[in-house]
Amino acid sequence: MEDGSGKPQRVLLKLSGEVLAGSEGRGFHRDTVYRIAGVLMEAAAGGIEIGVVTGGGNFARGREISGFTRTTADYIGMLATVMNCLAVSDAVKRHGGRSAVLSSIPVPEAGADVFAPGRARELFEQGYLLFFAGGTGNPFLSTDTAAALRAVQTGCEVLYKGTKVDGIYSKDPKTCKDAVRFQRLTYGEVLGKKLQVMDAASVAVCRDNGLPIVVFDVTEPENFLEILNSHSSGTLVEGD
């Protein structure tokens, strides 16, 4: 539900794992992680309940790991997302915020407890920033799908996908100068045009549950604050 200001009250941010690496390219860039934590806390201070799903690409992305079975590779990637969630959650706490990690692959000794929708809703209502780790807990499914599922399960109103580009394009803007950025698309157009910004399963989950998707550039983390106030940048996906 919106609060009358036009802003959603509960949202999910899908955060690219590579963004956490900053200029390092791999692993964590501490200042970038702290910067992201600060942005999340600022948004939460404005009354928005925020859940975060991270990718694991700064450490390991299952489908890109060779020499192992796909199941094993995917679990390695899921464990990478646990590390990412723990890192950003810790940064929030170091800045004086309240955060919790709920994971499909729980590691309670490290502070990553088991994910349960009811528990997540309770923590949202208590003012916690929530980090949903471990993907879906199943191989062959992406963290995009995990983000869509967690958003629906916990009553989020919008799924924000923070990437390294400022929206959905007709072609890869890194290699095609004539690529055009879309301001708005329907779920059917994303699926029909086979636009690769999110996998088909995640788009279908959002479509079937009427969950809008906003794709935006999060390489400058402060863009998240701007996109919460206006969808004038990025690409909005909704409707038939």
Mean pLDDT over 114-135 rounds to 98
Amino acid at 121: R
Distance CA 9, CA 26 (A): 33
Reading the block at residue 105, the tokens are 């692959």
Classified as helix, coil or strand, 87 is helix
Task: Kindly tell me the number of DSSP H helices and DSSP E strands found in the chain.
Answer: 8, 11
Element spanning 152, H or E: helix 143-153
Which class is 10-237 in CATH? alpha beta
Mean pLDDT over 214-236 rounds to 90
- In whole numbers, what is the pLDDT of the chain averaged over residues? 93
- Please tell me whether the overall predicted TM-score, pTM, comes out greater than 0.75 for this model: yes
Q: Which of 226, 161, 222 is nearest to 195 (CA)?
A: 161
pLDDT for residue 197:
83
pLDDT for residue 1:
39
* Portion of the chain with pLDDT greater than 90, in percent: 83
Domain ranges of the chain: 10-237
Residue 7, pLDDT > 80, answer no
Residue 230 pLDDT level (bands cut at 50, 70, 90): confident
Residue 6 pLDDT level (bands cut at 50, 70, 90): low
Element spanning 10, H or E: strand 10-15
pLDDT for residue 117:
98
